[in-house]
Amino acid sequence: MNTTEIRRYKLGLLIARDFDGNVARFAEFIDRRPPQIYRLFSDAPSGRGMGESLARHIENCLGLQRYWLDEEGDMDTLPPLRERVAEYEVSLSEQALLQLLIDDLHRAMRGKSLSRKSLICLRSMVDALSQDLSRVIDNQPLALPNPEQDEQDD
């Protein structure tokens, strides 16, 4: 494999293992836009290989040894980054967390992995949040509607 293929392969494994395959979450973690990361995996003519500066940036953000992405080898030697990712996500603003949730929902909708009951519950949560966002910010509990009751009404 050439360096571009090695970088792409190892980055794909990292995203799958430590970011649950969520490219948007990974992009947020390294302070890049998701389309930039998606292009790294594209075989289309518009797709781009990972350049030297981006490879070093990713290694720096993830606390990896310099040139780790360039070297062939196993992921087994790399300890999971889940704890670092979890710490980072705790530090995100509400706006960034909401964007990550929206990205997750879009992905789930495309994969049709959300049940009708889940969608009803999510709709109720969004309605409650939009009606009284100040209570959420103050960490006061919200009275969310019962999704089973909504389902019976439909």
The answer to whether the CB of 21 falls within 8 A of the CB of 35 is no
pLDDT for residue 56: 95
What was the pLDDT predicted at 44? Answer: 65
Its pTM surpasses 0.85? no
- What is the rounded distance in angstroms from the CA atom of residue 113 to the CA atom of residue 107? 9
Residue in this structure with the two tokens 């990205």, named with its chain if needed: 103
Mean pLDDT of 62-86: 80
Q: Which segments of 1-138 does DSSP mark as H helices, in order?
A: 3-18, 23-29, 34-40, 52-62, 82-91, 94-110, 116-131, 133-137
Of 11-15, 43-47, 131-135, 144-148, the one with minimum mean pLDDT is: 144-148
The band of 67, judged by pLDDT with boundaries at 50, 70 and 90, is: very high
140 DSSP assignment: P
**Burial of 128 from C-beta contacts in 10 A (0-12 / 13-18 / 19+):** middle
Amino acid, single-letter form, for residue 62? L
Structure tokens at 140: 């006061």
pLDDT band at 55 (very low <50, low <70, confident <90, very high): very high
pLDDT value for 142: 47
User: Which range has the top average pLDDT, 13-17, 75-79, 120-124?
Assistant: 13-17
pLDDT of residue 47: 59
Chain centroid, CA 129 distance in Å = 22
pLDDT tens figures, 120-154: 777 777 776 666 555 555 555 545 445 455 445 54
User: What pLDDT sits at residue 144?
Assistant: 47
